[in-house]
Structure 1
């Protein structure tokens, strides 16, 4: 089963960019479907738009019908941005002709539920925000040669600029079987603007006070924009709504028609986002703005700072007589590469004094969770990207600057905004109202809040003039007021999001909104809602409540059982560690006698003696340590090497690791076979980066490409460039935890744990329901010499209850936690731990295998000097090599340990057994960690990342040599 990925401007169904040429700012739609060669792209067959425009409000329903022409079921994933000021206020999935509305759930919980449910092959749908104004829809299943429908509801207040209030509907579709638009404008004097190919479409009267538009086209291929110009509000106007026992109001306060003055700058700091996503900005529009800026301020000093994963050194330019050609040439020659790290902007506090700052960026920080420090210096943020974070940009601009969105303003309007001062609504006080927020646009302030009395009295100052406004609870009613108030409240809270996560989550759940803390989810059956404790939409609520009462609360019992199982796992591991295993050469099993049935040689008797699993069995944990017939005769795949030599039968044994042994690690350098690799291998070190830039357009969305190039740069000690290239992974797909993990693993392998930690902290936020999230973060802290944080995160893996597909991961994390405890020189606080879990169990050899793909079965194979292979079907060797339970559900880890190692070579292999992914699976990235003298102060380890593309593929990872 496969996955389709749609990135489409088609969903920019509503916007507010008055008097701008549609062709100048609307990107061409991109319908990209990731399929295998034999697969056909998913088709966006029909789009139906139902829009209602009333006063300053617009509500748009967008129904999308997708067709899967393939003979296999797909999971659908749709990503799209909305424009500034738009809010998704509804989401629904079609069930046999009936729309089922989504409900708001904590974001991480919603994602966990969606992924759990899809593994059961039932029908969920999920809508979530990634970063900024970017949204993602996931739908399962798209039936083979069948259709599926989803519906989005987008609400907005039409902003007014220069006396016009415009509703905009993009029509830039590559090809549709059918497009239908039903639009009602509740204004008799509304005006219509359409592209040339739709000149026959018109607004027609609908009663005395409204107009309607009906558009129905088959085999539609369009471009441009449909616009409806609504009459602007005349003076202050108020709107109210009663919802769930609360009364809300919204009052529009027009800005005075005076031009606010601003100071002429003498020295400006120009901060230029040069990350990979900067390529998608409209640089022509940005240069037009700067042309007007320097025409107005012709003699000025400019301090240019480019920033990406790091901030580069500043360059100074003197603009004389409006001539900024040298600066423009420098900007035109900018190389857009690397991730976006806003922490690089925080050095501004130590920068030389400037009159003002101009920051050109999309506002999407994808490398850190850093808070942007606001400045007393007037700051103007300017964004020309469709995908952006307007809320963060406005926050960065602060009270003395402006956030200017170039996608919704003409060049002249944007320049006017930049060159005029800011009018401020000051000293706002209220009586008879609470939870008041102020939302600002170019022509007005909107004051919104909740009534506490029948009349709210608002007092404020504009340009030094005091004003008083009374809002009565009986003002004009509108069904949009409450959710728009809630969305603006969320925007205000996002200014310091890390301190307001709970408040944002409460608002999202109360008003059924998509926020950074809540997502909208639709489930198939009432029992699914009961199982995951998700309160369903109203039509299923009665049945849900009845079933919910029948469901026994087993949380406490499950916790007790989990604790007993972890103790049993540790006891079983300690029993293995205490046992003395022979280090000679085992006898070959007897050849079986031929019978009429299949021939299966029986295992040697020694296996019965070494498999002690009584502790696990008593705790109710299933065990599977029996050998398979091929364990002693498994073929060894080694590059340019023969079978291991025999080792003397009197090799050492005993109850403690052979710490005196000299143990070396030999890793096979993994090299991709892509065509660009040979070109880079044959190049001079100083030419590698230019070759990378030349090849990048062909591989821009390939994680493998950036990993391979970074490897080449690291090999030539070009670490700064390697880190820049590696940071591009953050730009490829917002909030993709698999990509974030790969990037973090590679930072760890290169010895930069401080870069891996912020990424892994994001992974914990995205997937706290996966034990690997906490384990990875804990190990990164260990590598960064933060042992206290390391053991705290690893204990999360030990203490929590996980999905059954992650069986025994607790023991692996506990081994790592204990190794840190008993090898660290720092005094560590372990008061949060169950003291029974602290054990000092060092081993000579340890191998851990992890991978990035969910629902994927990867196997670790270890072949010892006896020629005996330990793997999922043969988990304990003659000399005591032990492998953990097979992880068939994704990520790993799988662990091999050997307390006392017999001299000789130990071969490590990884085998890609298969996957059950409902997406198009690309190459799976593995991380293998080989460790000697694990749990002692002599511990040494090496990491390697490598990729497997095809199922049943097997690769040599490396080897230990014990002398």
Structure 2
């Protein structure tokens, strides 16, 4: 009877379970009602949308709806109806809102989530959605109305696939302008606005209709219409929208002329003949009688006046054809006050390869003339735009059309007498929206350019404040948001979204039902719950949260870097033995000097299991201990918890079972049979660790990095060596699985000898032709031969750098510096070329010049960690230790948004510790995070990096012919943090002899000479520390090459 009842109960439970429909996730919600209210004026619009969804299914679902908005529309509010009342959403970090939502969905408690998933696309989740029920949400939008030639445009592209029971649209437009018009073809086609008080209104209701066309309308505008609103009192905030009746271009007077001619080395890419012809045609067509010609590269080099009443056009061509084109270019050397003529023509490719990249705005109209197929169009356009000028590209214009572009200038708004503006002048349009602060009596605006005012407006406010719309606040918020999205980092976007309560790529709206959930997930409660949260001792302070977020990035960087240093400290402790100090001792320099105890293995290591050293050697350098998943290091780097057995020892008495072969060879290891009554039964191993004398369970087996159930199938003849880890060491590596100890087995394989054996040494490869030629040249003839060779290798960047290196070493220093300038310039301002030049300067010992160049590059790219590291290392080599320390420290705390930055910071940390641990008495460490500083000395520390992508691997052949290329910590080596040319290698106790460094280099076209730089510290962090830096040119190589050699003869 009992069995029958149990059977019936089981069937009943199963039936009930099956009868209940499973809840559906990410299910479509049917939109059945939509109410839209739009309030607009001459500046902005606010939209309030109420959506009612229906769940037609017979099961509970998680509702999901996707929708799109127009560019510039921002979600500023969100509500979910709970128990007949709307609850305001909370704006939070997107990940945090998603985490809270997903967690609460599992508890079947009401949340709703509104977020963007890219561009102007959004998605809405609501849960739980009961079967045959409705849920309501509201969404608030703000935007700046767009303008076109006909007026101001509003467009709401809500499109849904459902047929709605009811759609209600109400639009209120306030302002003094013509009757707004509905855009034909939109959802509101066939409706019209009506006059209402100080504006217009449109109200329409629809039934059983799909919302599949945008809701759009236009507010007509005509020439010289303006709308000017200014806040009363001392605030002075204003907004102005103006439609000028000016034409976009106007004819300009051109009686006087200044000509600026770029004579930098990159002129080799320009069609100088075509440029000279254009200048000749311009002078003739404009009947220019006199003009001044300025020759410039990084500064004005010469000034030549031409009087065309006394001179011929051919003299201009002869003059420009015979000058020497050399050096780097700096357009900013053109001083705007010098441009006092009607027109200036600047002939250049626009690449600024010297000085700070900033835009100076001349007072006259400037036209830029370019003939190089590759040119810096953006910079030239920015400078030309300020004064209504043009960029004239001779490559795609006929002579007549090119000349015609100089006859006209653009009309632009170039002056407003406001105290401050949200926009940057000039504004290249006759239809403008500007906002800012102004405490003057009205506004004055000027159109034209710096030299000519074609129209002047003197305006007084004519729009009263709109009580329904905070116009100026919306304009300010959206303009700032556009700037943050364009130029800000992800942290800036996150903070902006939180501060302004808008949905961004980093923020989302969430509504929760229970007050406990706001507290548990640390989410800002809506106003209605603030008092209840306070009674539960939860007060959310948005200011405090923003401060936490601002500090988070730096804290995250510090924590990550400190963990990195800690990893090295652990490695160092394991290498030198237990009980050694890994951090910097309290006493300064004297305590660091020498450190004899750290230069050899500890006594504990030296005496552990001496009988297990292979071949009875006294040195442990050749004994490789494999621990964890294939991680190898030499025996001197292991603790007494690890014991080593090689293949020779296993074969003393031949056994077919690995467990039996270990019997009697390892202290604390017991071999036991599963059954004492069966002959030949399987055996197990039990280990007694240092902290436990119990027999415990079976040991863990790891074969070539893979955990296996048992090692019975492993042939002892296939074993190269094995390591026996007692419980403490095994647990540290394998976690709970290693609680009974571990047997780590390494099978035999071919040894990693250097397979090319030096056949591909970069030093043995023949030089390029021009170097072979120059080496045969007598010293006195070097400059002349260089000029001859230059004609053949004119556009080869490597030619200039190679020649500079050779000439410097022949003591032609000024020639070498000039060649570097030319080399940088013909690379069109690429940062990699400037870095290559700085590398060469360092290799010559010209540290001050290298530092000056690094600083110049950094002024144009202040967040580049690679450059910061390069600058710090140059300071280090120049014995400017405090500047080096400050540079390293500041760079380490910069945000790591670039994927390569953590790897660069790793190099910086190592070099910072090399600096601090040897020169501590000379340094002020107040600005350095103390968690960054650790003492982990080594005989050798080698890193490899480069100015360009150019190698994919890095390995080292030790003096004892061992090839190191493992991506993990070992005593022999450590290769970590590789990226397009950055990796490193440590050795605690080196072997005397030559270490040969190789890299696999893949050849391809590079826009600048490709260099690898090996930085080697001998006696790293020890007294007597020295730095060896090798610079290797790797252009056109495509193989594994031995690129450098490091000779280590001991401390």
Give me the TM-score of the superposition, normalised by structure 2.
0.47
Give 1:529-548 correspondences, 5 Å limit.
none
State the match for 1:405 in structure 2.
391
Q: CA deviation at 1:838?
A: 4.0
Which of 859, 862, 869 is 1:775 aligned to?
A: 869
Which of 877, 893, 912 is 2:983 aligned to?
A: 893
Cα contact 1:357–1:378 (8 A) shared by 2: yes
Pair 1:859-2:954 in alignment? yes
Change (3 A) 1:430 1:954: closer
Which of 251, 260, 263 is 1:270 aligned to?
A: 260
Q: CA deviation at 1:746?
A: 4.6
Mapped to 2, the partners of 1:712 and 1:104 lie a distance apart of 61
Three-state SS of the structure 1 residue aligned to 2:244 is strand
Which of 421, 436, 449 is 2:434 aligned to?
A: 449
Mapped to 1, the partners of 2:916 and 2:567 lie a distance apart of 19
Mapped to 1, the partners of 2:954 and 2:857 lie a distance apart of 24
State the match for 1:359 in structure 2.
346
Give 1:593-608 correspondences, 5 Å limit.
593=651, 597=715, 602=720
Q: CA deviation at 1:894?
A: 0.9
Mapped to 2, the partners of 1:888 and 1:274 lie a distance apart of 37
Which of 942, 945, 969 is 1:847 aligned to?
A: 942
State the match for 1:947 in structure 2.
1034
Give 1:813-962 correspondences, 5 Å limit.
813-821=908-916, 828-835=923-930, 837-838=932-933, 845-851=940-946, 857-864=952-959, 866-872=960-966, 875-877=969-971, 883-898=973-988, 903-911=992-1000, 926-932=1012-1018, 934=1020, 939-947=1026-1034, 953-962=1040-1049
Which of 727, 730, 754 is 1:635 aligned to?
A: 754
Q: CA deviation at 1:933?
A: 5.0
Q: CA deviation at 1:339?
A: 5.4
Q: CA deviation at 1:892?
A: 2.0
Q: CA deviation at 1:727?
A: 0.7
Kindly provide the CA deviation profile for residues 328-368 of structure 1, in whole angstroms up to 9, marking residues without a partner as x.
2343456777654446557x99x999999653234442554
Pair 1:382-2:477 in alignment? no
Kindly provide the CA deviation profile for residues 237-272 of structure 1, in whole angstroms up to 9, marking residues without a partner as x.
66999xxx997624325389998767757xx56342
Change (3 A) 1:816 1:509: same
Three-state SS of the structure 1 residue aligned to 2:1034 is strand
Change (3 A) 1:281 1:248: farther
Mapped to 2, the partners of 1:516 and 1:302 lie a distance apart of 40
Pair 1:323-2:309 in alignment? no
State the match for 1:794 in structure 2.
888
Q: Pick 1 or 2: higher relative contact order, CA cutoff 8 A, min separation 6.
A: 1
Three-state SS of the structure 2 residue aligned to 1:819 is helix
Q: CA deviation at 1:849?
A: 1.1
Which of 580, 588, 592 is 2:600 aligned to?
A: 580
Mapped to 2, the partners of 1:671 and 1:252 lie a distance apart of 69
Change (3 A) 1:765 1:811: closer
Q: CA deviation at 1:434?
A: 6.5
Mapped to 2, the partners of 1:258 and 1:805 lie a distance apart of 50
Three-state SS of the structure 2 residue aligned to 1:369 is coil
Mapped to 2, the partners of 1:284 and 1:952 lie a distance apart of 44
Cα contact 2:900–2:979 (8 A) shared by 1: yes
Three-state SS of the structure 2 residue aligned to 1:314 is strand
Give 1:423-438 correspondences, 5 Å limit.
428-429=416-417, 435=422
Give 1:157-556 correspondences, 5 Å limit.
236=224, 249-252=241-244, 254=246, 264=256, 270-272=260-262, 274-276=264-266, 279-280=269-270, 284=274, 287-293=277-283, 300=290, 302-307=292-297, 310-311=298-299, 313-314=301-302, 316=304, 318-321=306-309, 322-332=311-321, 340-342=329-331, 345=334, 358-371=345-358, 380-384=366-370, 393=380, 403-407=389-393, 428-429=416-417, 435=422, 439=426, 448-450=433-435, 458-460=443-445, 467-468=457-458, 510-511=481-482, 515=486
Mapped to 1, the partners of 2:522 and 2:985 lie a distance apart of 37
Change (3 A) 1:905 1:424: closer
Change (3 A) 1:806 1:292: closer
Q: CA deviation at 1:572?
A: 2.9
Change (3 A) 1:535 1:612: farther
Cα contact 2:264–2:825 (8 A) shared by 1: no
Three-state SS of the structure 1 residue aligned to 2:753 is coil
Q: CA deviation at 1:931?
A: 3.9
Q: CA deviation at 1:632?
A: 8.1
Mapped to 2, the partners of 1:438 and 1:851 lie a distance apart of 41
Equivalent pairs, count: 652
Give 1:9-88 correspondences, 5 Å limit.
none
State the match for 1:71 in structure 2.
none
Change (3 A) 1:809 1:287: closer
Kindly provide the CA deviation profile for residues 468-503 of structure 1, in whole angstroms up to 9, marking residues without a partner as x.
4579779xxxxxxx9xx99xxxxxxxxxxxxxxxx9
Cα contact 2:996–2:1042 (8 A) shared by 1: no
Cα contact 1:631–1:870 (8 A) shared by 2: no
Cα contact 1:345–1:372 (8 A) shared by 2: no
Cα contact 1:819–1:934 (8 A) shared by 2: yes
State the match for 1:93 in structure 2.
none
Cα contact 2:854–2:867 (8 A) shared by 1: no
Cα contact 2:955–2:965 (8 A) shared by 1: yes
Mapped to 2, the partners of 1:726 and 1:335 lie a distance apart of 15
Q: CA deviation at 1:869?
A: 4.5
Three-state SS of the structure 2 residue aligned to 1:953 is strand
Cα contact 2:332–2:359 (8 A) shared by 1: yes
Mapped to 1, the partners of 2:69 and 2:790 lie a distance apart of 48
Kindly provide the CA deviation profile for residues 297-345 of structure 1, in whole angstroms up to 9, marking residues without a partner as x.
76647454241xx448426465452424233234345677765444655
Q: CA deviation at 1:817?
A: 1.3
Mapped to 1, the partners of 2:456 and 2:900 lie a distance apart of 65
Which of 783, 792, 800 is 1:694 aligned to?
A: 792
Kindly provide the CA deviation profile for residues 350-388 of structure 1, in whole angstroms up to 9, marking residues without a partner as x.
x9999996532344425543446667x868452336876
Give me the TM-score of the superposition, normalised by structure 1.
0.50
Give 1:671-750 correspondences, 5 Å limit.
685=782, 686-696=784-794, 717=812, 718-728=815-825, 730-731=827-828, 745-746=839-840, 748-750=842-844
Of residues 456-465 and 543-552 in structure 1, the stretch that sits farther from structure 2 once superposed is 543-552
Cα contact 1:744–1:759 (8 A) shared by 2: no
Which of 757, 768, 772 is 2:854 aligned to?
A: 757
Mapped to 2, the partners of 1:104 and 1:945 lie a distance apart of 54
Unaligned runs of 5+ in 1: 1-97, 106-112, 114-123, 127-154, 159-232, 475-481, 487-502, 520-528, 619-624, 642-666
Mapped to 1, the partners of 2:950 and 2:717 lie a distance apart of 34
Q: CA deviation at 1:861?
A: 1.0
Three-state SS of the structure 1 residue aligned to 2:828 is helix
Q: CA deviation at 1:896?
A: 3.1
State the match for 1:206 in structure 2.
none
